[in-house]
Structure 1
Amino acid sequence: MSQATTLARPYARAIFMLAKEVGSLKDVSEALAFSAQAVSVPHLADMLDDPRVSVAQLLDLISHPEAPESVRGFFSVLSENGRLPLLPEIYALFEALRAESEHVVRANITSAEPLSAESLKSLTDALKKRFGGDVEVQTAVDASLIGGAVIDAGDVVIDGSVRNKLARLNANLAN
């Protein structure tokens, strides 16, 4: 676990609890996503430590125009503590907390070739059945898998790639 994640965790929990309390998980999520992306821009990231840039100017630069006032206050606290660079980690942890509270499983499907809409729907339906709830799927393509796919859904990894099957066959033949 990285130090940034460790530092970001209490902030993510705090903003999550606040957002849940006022019923604005979606709005806060959008605001955090915008700001996490903003502080990742190299030129803007350099400004985070520039004493010539006021806190108000920074907040104007990184805040989503429609962000709830609570988020702007949260960013002020982050700024006072020198934690604005942690926004990408805070956002990722916030989204994990949000998914858990909404009983949504996030799955990454990496396949050797782009999946057809029919294959993706079939895999998504199977994952919904396996996890007993909603599933958000992201896809990626990795030709080194040779064929098949790898599904990473948090604690569960299903490796149905040809590369993995060949590696297991090779290990079995070597023994």
Structure 2
Amino acid sequence: MSQALTLARPYARAAFSAARDEGRVQAWSDALAFAARVAADPQAQAVLKHPQLSAEKAAQLLSIEGADAAVARFFRMLADNRRLELLPEIAGLFEQLRADAERVVKARVTSAAQLGDADLAAIREGLRRRFGREVELETAIDASLIGGAVIDAGDVVIDGSVRGKLERLQSALAA
């Protein structure tokens, strides 16, 4: 996977640069997200890898209706370079570049039970102060945490779950 990310990074940067220069970041984001979903589908992969499929046709299959010519050229370039399988990674890296440019941190809050709006607002505010950026929260529930929550914000993971505390206690006692 790290090799795929390494290969995808320059394509994602080029796509983001083109999207930003055109002032169409959202349109590119939508087009890349759609193409990534298509490229990740096993049946679509078989079609996209078919030796008789031209780069032009592959680009047409991946494009959403109304996509601009620059996006279609980008998909043709990927097809010409046999890099269509990198679309999920390219789309993910594109979204990271977009979040950085918009000064937004995306965080996932996994809790043992549903969190209330006040709790989520407090978490969002704490993360906003810590990172100095706006925060977009995504929530999930994992009953195996027993209690508390785990916050994953990119490179930062804050484990405030009961399960995490028990695991740390067990490690300390075993040492």
TM-score (norm 2): 0.92
1: CA distance, partners of 2:160 / 2:120: 15
Residue in 2 aligned with 1:100?
A: 100
Q: Which runs of 4+ in 1 moved over 4 A?
A: none
Q: Per-residue CA shift, 1:72-100, capped at 9, x if unaligned? A: 10001000000011000000111111111
2:11 — aligned with what?
11
Q: Which residue of 2 aligns with 1:163?
A: 163
CA-to-partner distance for each residue in 1:43-91, whole Å, 9 max, x for gaps? 1111111023332322222111122211110001000000011000000
CA distance in structure 1 between the aligned counterparts of 2:66 and 2:121, rounded to whole angstroms:
34
Q: Tell me, in whole angstroms, the C-alpha distance in 1 between the residues paired with 2:54 and 2:122.
A: 52
C-alpha deviation, 1:138, in angstroms: 1.4
2:113 is aligned to: 113
Higher mean C-alpha displacement, 59-68 vs 26-35: 59-68
**For 1:96 and 1:171, how far apart are their aligned partners in 2?**
34
Root-mean-square deviation (Å): 1.5
Q: Which residue of 2 aligns with 1:131?
A: 131
Which residue does the alignment assign to 2:122? 122
Is the 8 Å Cα contact of residues 151 and 158 (structure 2) preserved in structure 1?
Answer: yes
Displacement, 1:131?
1.8
**How do residues 2-41 of structure 1 correspond to structure 2 at under 5 angstroms?**
2-41=2-41
What is the DSSP-based 3-state SS (H/G/I as helix, E as strand, rest coil) of the residue aligned with 1:39?
Answer: helix
Aligned to 1:171, what secondary structure does the other structure show?
Answer: helix
**Residue aligning to 2:70:** 70
Instruction: Kindly tell me the number of residue pairs found equivalent between the two proteins.
Output: 175
TM-score (norm 1): 0.92
Letter in 1 for 2:146: I
Equivalent pair of 2:109/2:149 in contact (CA under 8 Å) = yes
Counterpart Cα distance in 1 of 2:108 and 2:143: 16
Partner of 1:172: 172
Q: Which runs of 5+ in 1 are unaligned?
A: none
2:58–2:76 contact (8 Å) kept in structure 1: no
Give me the whole-angstrom Cα distance separating, in 1, the residues matched to 2:54 and 2:172. 63
Q: What letter is aligned with 2:102?
A: E
